Amino acid sequence: MKDMKRIFAEWPVSIPRTGLIVTSFSETIPFCNYMLCGDLILLERKTPDASGARRVIIGFDAIQAVKILDAIELARFTAMGFQAVHLQT
């Protein structure tokens, strides 16, 4: 949970704040922006879901994956703490 929270807390300005969150409830939530509060994240949607909601609050412990929709080179993700792995031959 702390790694997922850190990714959102330190999201670089060079990467758009858009994507999809896959939850432990097997739900996919698209987002176009977000806000943080402790162990919760408030997601904003561009369009409402089937029940008319444009925003959803979810705990970081319920996030299974984050999908990035924009075509972004991998090197820009080092700002989030990711590192390239160099294989030895």
Pairing of strands 40-44, 28-31: unpaired
Q: For position 1, what pLDDT does the model report?
A: 66
Query: Averaged in consecutive runs of 10 residues, what is the pLDDT profile of the chain (89 residues)?
Result: 88 91 94 96 95 96 94 85 80
Q: Of 36, 29, 31, 30, give the one whose Cα is nearest residue 60.
A: 36
Q: For position 23, what pLDDT does the model report?
A: 95
Q: For position 61, what pLDDT does the model report?
A: 95
pTM: 0.85
Residue at token pair 């820009």: 76
Q: For position 27, what pLDDT does the model report?
A: 92
Domains of the chain, each with CATH number or no CATH: 2-77 (2.30.30)
